[in-house]
Amino acid sequence: MGRKRKGNKVDGWLVIDKPLGMTSTQVVGKCRWVTKAQKIGHGGTLDPLASGILPIACGEATKTIPFIMDARKIYVFTVTFGESRSTDDAEGEIVATSDHRPGAADITEVLPEFIGCIQQTPPAYSAIKIDGKRAYDLARAGEDFEIKSRNVDIFDLKMLSLDGDQATLQVTCGKGTYVRSLARDLALRLNTVGYVSFLRRTAVGPFDLAKSISLEKLEELGHSAPPEDWILPVVTVLDDILALAVTEEQATLLSHGQALSVSGPIESGIVRAMAGERLVALCETDQNPDMTILRPVRVFNF
């Protein structure tokens, strides 16, 4: 027999409003301490100088982390013009200055250039790996290295306010986007320099601030209410994936990793097999003329 996993059987998503100054790993540790969950992880890192939505997966929800990592994200951020920082945020040293300050019309005019599939070079102080080493470790050691640019998706970008040398914007973006790089490049396009002085993530996929709780609230709920009262279901991140009803007999087959034949065509891709309200498996579809083969790629144990 296998060794019994320590901790509580807790399955679902916690949506934490991460405070400033904490690392994502520290937030995971706090959630692990409160929930005593057998398995726990986060769905996308937030820098210590950023606050906002940090999805935390417990138990079976950890199998759905890739779906939240790929989800759209919304950030509100402030660009401070006139200074360039080594880290592209307020933590770094000043490496360049400029007396030029763009006006509201200047900023609004160039924003469309940053919407769509754009090329972006991640900051030197980032978790990108260069020959197996993290870029921020190389940067701190003073080593010279090059980070290749890559394509990222910006779905929307708008200015919310301009106050002196600080512009506050909101961006909706895809996986892998660095807001620090966006702020840096926007400033350069406006013939000045700038860095992110404020960063808050307000949404990740289906999770927004309305669904979030603070760590203090989590600790309070952890002592006063059962987990089902404050943890969101695993399927919350799978709402846009086609649900297919299966019988208990079919669910048993899928749970044992066996493929299943169902009559009629089903759109190709990933579907979620549901036995009533219970998530059974995520399956790939294999089309045949008169039937569809479901092949389980993620099986859930509820």
Report DSSP state, residue 237: G
- With a cut of 90, say whether residue 217 has pLDDT above it: yes
Query: Which pLDDT belongs to residue 130?
Result: 75
Query: Which pLDDT belongs to residue 2?
Result: 52
- With a cut of 90, say whether residue 27 has pLDDT above it: yes
Query: Which pLDDT belongs to residue 97?
Result: 97
CA quadruple 110, 111, 112, 118: dihedral positive or negative? Answer: positive
pLDDT band at 3 (very low <50, low <70, confident <90, very high): low
Distance (Å, whole) CA 74 – CA 203: 5
Token duo for residue 192: 């000045």
Query: Which pLDDT belongs to residue 165?
Result: 96
- With a cut of 80, say whether residue 235 has pLDDT above it: yes
**Average pLDDT of 104-111?**
98
Contact 267, 240 (CB under 8 A): no
Distance (Å, whole) CA 223 – CA 1: 33
Classify residue 294 by burial, with Cβ atoms within 10 Å: 0-12, 13-18, 19+: buried
Q: How many other C-beta atoms can be found within 10 angstroms of the C-beta atom of residue 260? A: 19
The region of weakest confidence among 3-7, 166-170, 196-200, 295-299 is: 3-7
Torsion angle of the four alpha carbons 269, 270, 275, 276, in this order, in degrees rounded to the nearest 10: -90
- Out of 17, 47, 88, 89, the active site residue is 47
User: Which residues, at least 6 apart from 216, have a Cβ–Cβ distance to it below 8 Å?
Assistant: none
47 is catalytic: yes
Q: Which of 283, 248, 249 is nearest to 269 (CA)?
A: 283
- With a cut of 80, say whether residue 289 has pLDDT above it: no
Query: Which pLDDT belongs to residue 1?
Result: 47
Query: Which pLDDT belongs to residue 4?
Result: 63
Straight-line distance from the first to the last Cα atom of the chain, in angstroms, rounded to the nearest whole number: 20
Percentage of the chain modeled with pLDDT above 90: 75
Distance (Å, whole) CA 256 – CA 33: 32
Query: Which pLDDT belongs to residue 268?
Result: 80
pLDDT band at 8 (very low <50, low <70, confident <90, very high): confident
The region of weakest confidence among 58-72, 75-89, 138-152, 170-184 is: 138-152
How does strand 291-299 pair with strand 278-287?
antiparallel
Distance (Å, whole) CA 221 – CA 74: 27
Mean pLDDT across the chain, nearest whole number? 91
Q: How many helices (H) and strands (E) does the chain have?
A: 7, 18
**Average pLDDT of 245-252?**
94
User: Which residues, at least 6 apart from 156, have a Cβ–Cβ distance to it below 8 Å?
Assistant: 115, 170, 171, 172
Percentage of the chain modeled with pLDDT above 70: 98
> 97 in the Ramachandran plot: left (φ > 0), alpha (ψ -120 to 50) or beta?
beta
Query: Which pLDDT belongs to residue 135?
Result: 72
- Would the pTM of this model clear 0.85, i.e. be above it? yes
Choice between 288 and 103, residue whose per-residue pLDDT is larger:
103
Torsion angle of the four alpha carbons 57, 61, 65, 71, in this order, in degrees rounded to the nearest 10: -90
Distance (Å, whole) CA 247 – CA 276: 8
